[in-house]
Structure 1
């Protein structure tokens, strides 16, 4: 049975239980399953990594990407992102990184590391200023200027989730 049908069945069961006046502790348990476990199970098991040192912008990008098939992990530095990649690099479908970051590495250095070490991840680099070192951004990376439009980010996430990863030479 597909996961969306399981979710619909649980939602219907919950509605029926509430209508019948079931004990609140049981209704609360069903609500927890309905709203947390199924949301994470329905994701495709692939990750979107948001690397942004501004918590508000990172939160906005994370919230936007949570509407896709990808699970989302936020990082405030390239070093933190590399730590996630070392543990889950094979699952990372999208790296969405600002050029200016907290820490020792910037987003261009991170993009080059990802392009070299995790070549199947889709790369999106963003910045509020034109990058001075455009020639250092990997060829296969997409640059989206800030303020980015949500549709542009969602299109890249959709590509990361559905298209075959680039061939590794």
Structure 2
């Protein structure tokens, strides 16, 4: 090796001494700066491999993907009363993303059967006004307002909104096509706002 080689004291000609406290990456950078000269002078392959190993940074591992936490269910229910299957599935899927457990009903009569069984657990009833059974959504809204007044009630329709005097107090009307945001806002109210006082 020529005069540029590292001497026994750890000093390289023309360079500062490598202090014992240097970090491994700093040592690697220093060794890498001499690598080409060392190769030209025919250093053993095992030393060249060591230099490459010191200089090569560790691969950075990818962070674990963020998995959204599932929504904790409150044990309360949301009834979707809709006879159009695609719209019912959409509303049930939407409300299943909230703290409520959503149940689809094809008719007002089916919804009333659920209310008779679990009316105390129902936080929200979301019903189309036009239904295929004997009762329509307005009749269902009046029955729910009278028998289960703590349940939050929404009615919807693609036709014009019903006259205000046909809607029981506190029933919310959302026109079709409804916005998911509007439905989620009402679900939030049903879940977190205190229910109305029962006279």
Q: Is TM-score (shorter-chain normalized) higher than 0.5? A: yes
Question: 2:178 & 2:91 partners in 1: Cα distance?
Answer: 10
Indicate the residue corresponding to 2:79 in structure 1: 49
Q: Which has the larger radius of gyration?
A: 2
Give the ranges of 4+ consecutive aligned residues of structure 1 lying more than 2 Å apart after TM superposition.
131-134
How many residues are matched? Answer: 131
Question: 1:131 & 1:163 partners in 2: Cα distance?
Answer: 25
Indicate the residue corresponding to 2:122 in structure 1: 92
User: Which has the higher relative contact order, 1 or 2, with Cα contacts under 8 A spaced 6 or more apart?
Assistant: 1
Question: 2:85 & 2:105 partners in 1: Cα distance?
Answer: 9
Alpha-carbon offset, residue 94 of structure 1: 0.2
Alpha-carbon offset, residue 134 of structure 1: 3.8
What RMSD over aligned residues (CA atoms) do the two structures have, in Å? 1.6
Task: Indicate which of 145, 149, 153 corresponds to 2:179.
Answer: 149
Q: How does 1:1-169 map to 2 (within 5 A)?
A: 42-169=72-199
Q: Secondary structure at the residue paired with 1:110?
A: helix
Question: 1:43 & 1:156 partners in 2: Cα distance?
Answer: 17
Question: 1:108 & 1:44 partners in 2: Cα distance?
Answer: 28
Give TM-score scaled by structure 1 length.
Answer: 0.74
Alpha-carbon offset, residue 131 of structure 1: 3.6
Alpha-carbon offset, residue 133 of structure 1: 4.5
Question: 2:90 & 2:164 partners in 1: Cα distance?
Answer: 25
Structure ranking higher in helix proportion: 1
Give TM-score scaled by structure 2 length.
Answer: 0.63
1:25-72, Cα deviation, whole Å (9 max, x unpaired)? xxxxxxxxxxxxxx69x3101000000000000000001000100001
